[in-house]
Amino acid sequence: MTLGETTGEVVLGVLSSLCPDGVAKGQVTAVSSGVSPLESLSYPVMASDVAYTEGVTGGNVFTITRLGARRMAATMMFQEPPTEDNGQDLDELEMSALGEAMNQMMAASAAALEGALGYSVDISVPTTRVLESAGEAEGLYPQTPYATSVPFTVLGEPSRLIQLIPNAFVVRMTRALETESDDEADRDRDEFSGSRISSRLRTVPLRVTAELGRARMSLEQVANPAPGLIVELNRSSEDPIDLYVNGRRFATGRLFLIDQTEWAMRIERVLDADPADYASQPGGI
């Protein structure tokens, strides 16, 4: 469950950066032994997977409906997401956008595993395919003694992160938790001290972005920008700017210059945990 929660939170951050305000994560569950974690999906689905390549079996599988994949690809390409699936296969541009999203999610997931386990985790190149039925999924992925399932809602469509966990990971995680427990009295007394794997998670890299404003442009404008083109943003220079951490709005502040040479941001307000507060930023992607 700890491994599932660790990777689920990191994948949530990646999805939120790609589809702001359009992603929600459900509760992590452990899949019962002998039950396929893919049998309860609503087919057809797009499935992307990576395998662990360091002498252990297992890996991660991320699934999303075809309509969800289309909506995510459209959002990444600054287009209006479709309201319904046209029943056709994804085109080359949609597959390219989806592949990039999968690459980011799987790389971030592997980095989170390294932080939690305390050693390097090598993964294969992600493979993305269409699964028309549970029968097509049978035999595609390795059998492992443990598996977790994390449900997501992406732009209104269901998706799922499935982690196939080998025994070696469980042993290493148990040792990591025991070590953390033994050293608990010596930890820094900060807001993360309640988590028994906090010291390992602190090394997981996060993407921090300061956003001055947003604009909508056509794909043609983005692909062929004319020299001298002025892009109008939805805010004035006097408005506060937003600080995002892994795609989630975290704080607001003001832009200023350091020594008249380097731009910086002075944080004026750290947002509360109220989801409505995080979703209150203007504009869209």
Return the closest-CA partner of residue 66 out of 48, 46, 93: 46
Which residues, listed in sequence order, are joined to residue 256 by a DSSP beta bridge?
264
At 223, which helix (H) or strand (E)? helix 219-223
Which residue in this structure is represented by tokens 């805010």?
235
pLDDT of 167 strictly over 60: yes
CA–CA dist 281, 251 (Å, integer)? 11
CA–CA dist 58, 134 (Å, integer)? 19
Q: Where in the chain are the domains?
A: 2-201, 208-278
CA–CA dist 94, 156 (Å, integer)? 18
Q: Which CATH number fits domain 2-201: 3.40.1550.10, 3.20.20.140, 3.40.50.1700, 3.30.70.1290?
A: 3.40.1550.10
Give Cα separations from 84 to 1, 87, 121, 157, 268 (angstroms): 35, 9, 38, 11, 42
Return the closest-CA partner of residue 131 out of 121, 119, 141, 122: 141
Rounded to a whole number of angstroms, the distance between the first and last alpha carbons of the chain is 33
DSSP category for residue 125: P
pLDDT at 25: 92
Q: For 103-160, how does the pLDDT look when each residue is reduced to its tens digit (9 = 90+)?
A: 888 888 888 877 777 777 778 888 888 888 877 777 777 778 888 999 999 999 999 9
pTM, entire model: 0.61
DSSP category for residue 126: P
pLDDT of 63 strictly over 70: yes
Q: Which of 11-20, 52-61, 224-233 has the highest mean pLDDT?
A: 11-20
pLDDT of 278 strictly over 50: no
Into which CATH architecture does domain 208-278 fall?
Roll (2.30)
Give Cα separations from 48 to 77, 95, 101, 247, 285 (angstroms): 20, 11, 10, 21, 24
Residue 215's pLDDT band (boundaries 50, 70, 90)? Answer: confident
